[in-house]
Amino acid sequence: MMQLYTENNSKQGTVWKKAMVLLAGLTFLSCSPDKIMAETKAYSYNQNSKGVAIFAGGCFWCMEQPLESVPGIKAVYSGYCGGKERSPAYKQVASGMTSHVESVLVEFDETKITYEQLLQHFWQNINPVQRNGQFYDIGPHYRTVIFYINQEQKEIAQKSKAALQKSGKFNKPIATEILPATEFWLAEDYHQDYYKKEPEAYYRYKNGSGRAQYLKETWGKN
């Protein structure tokens, strides 16, 4: 049965995820409060940067793993985007204390994959009609967003979103926003490649949150 995303179980999921973060930190970081609140650094890019894309698809752990497996994608970084606060920490963003959104920055080879093709992979790893969050993770800091870094990306994203809506696959409006990218702040080291560092915890979360089942039933994803 498909997981129902109620306010009650979304709160449980958020608490669960935070507990997993702490456990992971204790496991491979000996994670002290100083490390949890370590200063985050900005990724350097501008509107002329080639082969850079930024997406928010809910939990950034669950966006890194599927995107890194796509041919033509060179690297995926977890981080925070869309807000005004400088050097945000995970604890602040996950608690809704900032205007940032959990996001991923993708470096890709434009000779092997186009931005339009990249968007198809983005759509197929989210629930595009869920508002104010993704699966168990509820709140504006977990909503889905396509952050464009230039006008070309904006236009391609708008066309892609319109095509998905027109396809008739969903009977609700596509909730994903298309917004100008702000500074992208790299998440703390213990979040980067989390699925490699803590595979069992990662897959428990992905399955328990309802994401894995939704992707399989909606997009045919394993």
Architecture of the domain whose range is 7-219 = 2-Layer Sandwich (3.30)
- Determine the pLDDT at residue 17: 53
What are the extents of the domains in the chain? 7-219
Are the beta carbons of 111 and 141 closer than 8 angstroms?
no
The tokens for 14 are: 């958020």
Q: How many CA atoms lie within 13 Å of 164's alpha carbon, on the beta-carbon side?
A: 24
Q: Rounded distance, CA 124 to CA 119, Å?
A: 9
Strands 101-108 and 184-186: unpaired
- Determine the pLDDT at residue 222: 62
Q: Across the chain, which distance is largest between two alpha carbons, in Å?
A: 49
pLDDT along the chain (222 residues), means of 10: 35 48 36 48 89 97 95 97 95 94 97 98 97 94 97 98 96 97 95 94 94 94 67
Strands 144-148 and 177-180: parallel
Tell me the whole-structure pTM to 2 decimals. 0.83
Catalytic site residue 59? yes
Catalytic entry in 31, 59, 62, 81: 59
